């Protein structure tokens, strides 16, 4: 599969799930949170990683650009084959249209939408590894939010 076709399939699924294009990235946002998608091309194979980066709006006075260094917490959408095999990357020599759609939808439903539906604190508290790897500002934000509630 060509990379253009791969990105087109991913784009269709993202747009169907409410993502918009902002600063040349696919974004989903509400009043408190924004997530953006980044395609990372592998240096070693004909594959892509699909990473997502969350920014807590109250921690950023003004969001001029969506850059990875400004992220508060992050993750990766994995490739799931319909037969059950899992991989961290999407090898374009081995992926199928339906696998891509299924994987992106599953990633959105399990890893991205819960941050919006459950709230940031609940989302991170239920994902200790993501919480541990989050920015210092995010950890401070969690402490403050926990004191309030």
The domain spans of the chain are 3-119
pLDDT reading at 65 higher than 80: no
Give 54's strand partners.
35, 73
φ, ψ of residue 90 to 5 degrees: the values are -110, 100
pLDDT grade for 144, boundaries at 50, 70 and 90: confident
Q: Give the pLDDT of residue 63.
A: 67
| pLDDT digits 0-9 by tens, 93-119 | 999 999 999 999 999 999 999 999 999
Using CA atoms, how far apart are residues 2 and 48, in angstroms rounded to an integer?
11
Q: Cβ–Cβ contacts within 10 Å for residue 22, how many?
A: 15
| pLDDT digits 0-9 by tens, 33-44 | 999 999 999 999
Q: What is the bridge-based pairing of β-strands 47-56 and 33-41?
A: antiparallel
């Amino acid at each position: 599969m060509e990379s253009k076709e791969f990105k087109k399939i991913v784009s269709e699924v993202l747009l169907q799930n409410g993502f918009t294009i902002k600063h040349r990235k696919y974004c989903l946002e509400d009043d408190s949170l924004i997530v953006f998608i980044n395609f990372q091309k592998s240096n070693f194979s004909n594959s892509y990683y699909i990473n997502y980066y969350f920014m807590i709006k109250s921690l950023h006075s003004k969001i001029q650009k969506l850059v990875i260094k400004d992220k508060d917490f992050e993750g990766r959408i994995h490739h799931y084959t319909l037969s059950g095999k899992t991989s961290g990357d999407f090898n374009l020599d081995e992926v199928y249209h339906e696998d891509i759609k299924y994987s992106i939808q599953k990633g959105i439903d399990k890893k991205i939408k819960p941050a919006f539906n459950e709230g940031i604190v609940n989302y991170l508290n239920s994902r200790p590894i993501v919480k541990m790897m989050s920015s210092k500002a995010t950890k401070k934000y969690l402490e403050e939010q926990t004191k309030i509630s």
